[in-house]
Structure 1
Amino acid sequence: MTAKVSYDDVEVGTELPAQEFPVTRADLVQYAGASGDFNPIHWNEKFAKEVGLPDVIAHGMFTMAEAGRVVTDWAGDPAAVVEYGVRFTKPVVVPNDEKGSAVEVTAKVAAKLDDEARTVRVDIVATSAGQKVLGRARAVVRLA
């Protein structure tokens, strides 16, 4: 499968559709089971606070994956993402209530990298509770 977005139709500055991803304690438990990361900072409020966190926090890789979904949804094919990296800047705090938290993600095409390879760089901004939670979040995407 190839990306559904055409390289020829994309310009620098093209904004990808923004998305908001809810994050609940149940999501963290499911992610822990899938990833094998059962660090108590992701499920035990008492432990998280004892180590200086404000509350339980989402797994960094969970946050990274949610942010990456904006790019894969836009491209139409996860395999179109040939490179993806972030720096973790702030944790996503997940309170123990019915609402939980949310990660808001925006992204835009920052550069056309290679006309022959049809690759673009997408810069991603992920925030939670008004704070940036990922830094230098970038993906290189091969378009159709």
Structure 2
Amino acid sequence: MAATIKYDEVEVGQEIPPVDYPVRRVNLIQYAGASGDFNPIHWNERFAKQVGLPDVIAHGMYTMAQGGRFITDWVGDPGAVLDYGVRFSSMVVVPDTDEGTTITVSGVVESKLEDNKVVIAITARSGGNRVLSKARAIVRLA
């Protein structure tokens, strides 16, 4: 599958519009099953509060995955992602409501490299907090 975004169509400083990813507790249960991470801070409110957290929190890797999803959706080809890394800077608190919470991910073309590669700086926020820092992806465009 070829990338749908072309190298010649992007410029340094170009913004990638934000996308909202809803997060409900059921998503955390599903992720726990897929990842094998059944730490009760991700599904048990009583336990989470007992250990000093404000509420149940999303898995860090789940949060990171939303940034990766943002990039692969933008590029149009998961195989175009050559490198992706983040640091976790804040928790994604997931209240027990029908709405849960939202992770909003946006990006900007930080630089263009040779061989049709671009560096994307990613911003992810939830509950007014930046939840990923130093988030970058290198992708090869068509």
Contact 1:16 1:70 in 2 (8 A): no
Question: Of the candidates 120, 130, 138, which is equivalent to residue 122 of structure 1?
Answer: 120
Residue 101 of structure 1: aligned partner = 101
Return the offset for 1:68.
Answer: 1.6
What is the identity, as a one-letter code, of the residue corresponding to 1:60?
G
Native 8 Å contact 1:82 1:142 kept in 2: yes
CA distances 1:50-83 after superposition (whole Å, capped 9, x unpaired): 1111000001111111122111111000110100
For residues 1-144 of structure 1, the aligned pairs below 5 Å read 1-114=1-114, 117-144=115-142
| Superposition CA RMSD, Å | 0.8
Distance 2:36 2:6 in 1: 37
Structure 1: 4+ residue segments shifted above 4 A:
none
Residue type of the alignment partner of 1:110: E
Residue 17 of structure 1: how far off its partner (Å): 2.6
| SS of 2:48 mapped into structure 1 | helix
- Is the CA contact 1:107–1:125 (under 8 Å) kept in the aligned structure 2? yes
AA in 1 matched with 2:127: A
Matches of 1:18 and 1:97, distance apart in 2? 23
Cα deviation 1:29-61 (Å, max 9, x = unaligned): 011111111011100111111111100000111
SS of residue paired to 2:113 = strand
TM-score (norm 2): 0.97
Q: CA deviation at 1:8?
A: 1.1
Aligned-pair identity (%): 60
Number of residue pairs the alignment of both structures matches: 142
1:143, distance to aligned residue in structure 2 (A)? 0.4
User: 5+ unaligned residues in a row in structure 1: which ranges?
Assistant: none
Counterpart Cα distance in 1 of 2:82 and 2:6? 16
In the alignment, residue 136 of structure 1 is paired with which amino acid?
A: K
- What is the TM-score when the length of structure 1 is the normalising length? 0.96
